[in-house]
Amino acid sequence: MYDEYKMTHNHYDTLTVLAIESSCDETAVAIVEGSGKVVCHEIYSQMELHAAYGGVVPEIASRNHLIALPRIFHKLLKTYSTITNKQIDAIAVTSGPGLIGSVIVGVMFAKGLAAALNKPCIPVNHLVGHALTVRMTHKDVDFPYLLLLVSGGHCQLLVVHGALNYETLGQTRDDAVGEAFDKVAKMLGLGYPGGPIIEEYAKNGDRYAITLPKPFVGSDSCEFSFSGLKTAVYKQIALAKQSHMFNQRFINDVCASFQHTIAEILVDRVCMAIRCCSVKHGVNNFVSTHNAHDNLHTYHQRKQYNMHKTHCELHNTENSYFDHIPTATMTKSFAVAGGVAANTYIRDILENTVHSQGMRFVSPPHSLCTDNAAMIAWAAIEMIRHNPSLLTYKQLDFFPRSRWPLSEVK
Ligand code: KG4
Ligand code: ZN
């Protein structure tokens, strides 16, 4: 009854969701309110357990989620003993994509909890969690917005049209950005996770010391590729070892050059995505009508423009392609999310780029860029807003998924 009252009165701000995240090597629980207030979030990181292997070992991860999840859940209950069962409206859980054994642990725990408390259990896509976090931390980010999602498993440029409506502009053909950081750190013998370690060493290095390839830079798509860059770093390391130059200075230089190259690649691809959005969605004023043709990069975009021009000439109508794009789809904000968004160097460069293009730059605070359960709770809140009947649906008929692209969320 309480749930129905909230639904009918649109009192989403008072919604309270308890969420569980266990898709990779972080075990996390959180309670978040519909207003965006993070009541609490607890994270247990398994980093140290995986460090010796230079990456996450799936079997070790799932076994440790089994141990850690009940522990941090009890810690949460003890710390926040004032929160009663009655105040929780729903349980949310990451049900994919991720390491399947790890996802299963979280899903089973959440289902058990939901059954015992007689609450709805909402399956959340982990990527949706990353994608929507900026709307929890920055209340005025409206749909649609442009998103660069850079994590350990993903590298994508998307237009977020709605909580469950994603348009992919481009993605990586091979490694994810975080994965490239982790692999380069492993090659250098620096440990896991690679991102924060490389960022630290890079502070003492020369970003121009080593020239590395920038796949796809200058191309007219929004795609990425990082495996060639990783191989180039591998070759530099082999050469340095051969010539006895593999010392601290070299390591710092590799870190700085690698990080800077990644930043340059991301900047180029982001500019391309902004241009692409200008044409497809009418992003504010980057492309004025008189020089629009010069800025239309892909064959498809040029063809669309020319077809439109011909149509206008034939029908003697307004000769501006952009005047015909509905303003309702204007994209004003650019968001970066996922673990790599915690990198201050990359974040700052992206922020300058995005500002120079006249767009607003938003990103969650560092602690909410890497995996956490608050983003899963918030995603569930957005899903409830989109479909209030989720609050009354008490079936536990969903499955953990290892693969679940954003194009398949609904
Ligand atoms: O989003 P996330 O916590 O987990 C996935 O969904 O994958 O991202 C983890 C990834 C790791 O590859 C890690 O090396 C990278 O994010 N990462 C960073 C930084 N902090 C974490 N990469 C670059 N710089 C950082 N400061
Ligand atoms: Zn993640």
- How does pLDDT run across 95-110, given as a tens digit for each residue? 999 999 999 999 999 9
* CB-based contact 335:363 (threshold 8 Å): yes
Predicted pLDDT of residue 330: 63
- Mean pLDDT, to the nearest integer, of 382-402? 96
Q: Is the minimum distance from the CB of 196 to ligand 1 under 6 angstroms?
A: yes
Q: How far apart are the first and last CA of the chain?
A: 26
**pLDDT above 90: residue 136:** yes
Q: Check residues 226 and 291 and name the one with the higher pLDDT.
A: 226
Q: Give residue 362's pLDDT band: very low, low, confident or very high (50, 70, 90).
A: very high
Distance CA 131, CA 342 (A): 14
Q: Check residues 72 and 314 and name the one with the higher pLDDT.
A: 72
Q: Give residue 86's pLDDT band: very low, low, confident or very high (50, 70, 90).
A: confident
Q: Give residue 323's pLDDT band: very low, low, confident or very high (50, 70, 90).
A: very low
- Mean pLDDT, to the nearest integer, of 374-398? 96
Predicted pLDDT of residue 282: 54
Q: Is the minimum distance from the CB of 372 to ligand 1 under 6 angstroms?
A: no
Q: Give residue 261's pLDDT band: very low, low, confident or very high (50, 70, 90).
A: very high
Q: Give residue 280's pLDDT band: very low, low, confident or very high (50, 70, 90).
A: low
Q: Give residue 327's pLDDT band: very low, low, confident or very high (50, 70, 90).
A: very low
- Which of 51-55, 74-78, 114-118 reaches the highest mean pLDDT? 114-118
pLDDT tens per residue, range 149-172? 999 999 999 999 999 999 999 999
Ligand 1, atom 3, residue with closest C-alpha? 370
User: pTM for the whole thing?
Assistant: 0.87
**pLDDT above 50: residue 308:** no
Q: Check residues 289 and 335 and name the one with the higher pLDDT.
A: 335
Ligand 2 center–CA 126 separation, angstroms: 6
- Mean pLDDT, to the nearest integer, of 189-198? 95
CA atoms within 13 A on the CB side of 279: 23
Predicted pLDDT of residue 326: 35
Q: Which residues contact 334 (CB under 8 A, 6 or more apart)?
A: 145, 146, 147, 148, 270, 274, 350, 354, 359, 360, 361, 362
- Mean pLDDT, to the nearest integer, of 254-282? 90
For residue 55, count CB atoms less than 10 angstroms from its CB and return exposed for 0-12, middle for 13-18, buried for 19 or more. middle
* CB-based contact 105:136 (threshold 8 Å): no
Rg of the chain, C-alpha, whole Å: 23
Q: Using most ligand atoms within 8 A of CB, pick from 125, 370, 372 the residue to mutate for ligand 1.
A: 370
**pLDDT above 70: residue 291:** no
**pLDDT above 60: residue 50:** yes
Among the listed residues 285, 358, 292, the one whose alpha carbon sits nearest the alpha carbon of residue 320: 292
Distance CA 266, CA 172 (A): 11
Predicted pLDDT of residue 279: 66
Ligand 1, atom 19, residue with closest C-alpha? 195
Poorest-confidence range of 110-114, 236-240, 309-313? 309-313
Q: Which stretch of DSSP H or E encloses residue 394? A: none
Closest ligand to Cα 345: 1
Q: Using most ligand atoms within 8 A of CB, pick from 41, 181, 184 the residue to mutate for ligand 1.
A: 181
Take residue 137 and report the two structure tokens written for it: 């931390």
Q: Which residues contact 116 (CB under 8 A, 6 or more apart)?
A: none
- Mean pLDDT, to the nearest integer, of 350-369? 96
Distance CA 236, CA 259 (A): 15
Q: Is the minimum distance from the CB of 24 to ligand 1 under 6 angstroms?
A: yes
Q: Is the minimum distance from the CB of 150 to ligand 1 under 6 angstroms?
A: no
Ligand 1, atom 16, residue with closest C-alpha? 339
Distance CA 261, CA 228 (A): 12
Q: Is the minimum distance from the CB of 194 to ligand 1 under 6 angstroms?
A: yes
Q: Is the minimum distance from the CB of 182 to ligand 1 under 6 angstroms?
A: yes
Ligand 2 center–CA 130 separation, angstroms: 7
Among the listed residues 246, 280, 254, the one whose alpha carbon sits nearest the alpha carbon of residue 144: 280
Q: Is the minimum distance from the CB of 61 to ligand 1 under 6 angstroms?
A: no
Ligand 1, atom 10, residue with closest C-alpha? 152
**pLDDT above 70: residue 290:** no
Q: Is the minimum distance from the CB of 123 to ligand 1 under 6 angstroms?
A: no
- Percent of the chain whose pLDDT exceeds 90: 77
Q: What is the average pLDDT score of the chain?
A: 87
CA atoms within 13 A on the CB side of 26: 21
* The three-state (H, E, C) secondary structure of 207-225, written as one string: CCCCCCCCCCCCCCCCCEC
- Mean pLDDT, to the nearest integer, of 38-58? 92
Q: Give residue 80's pLDDT band: very low, low, confident or very high (50, 70, 90).
A: confident
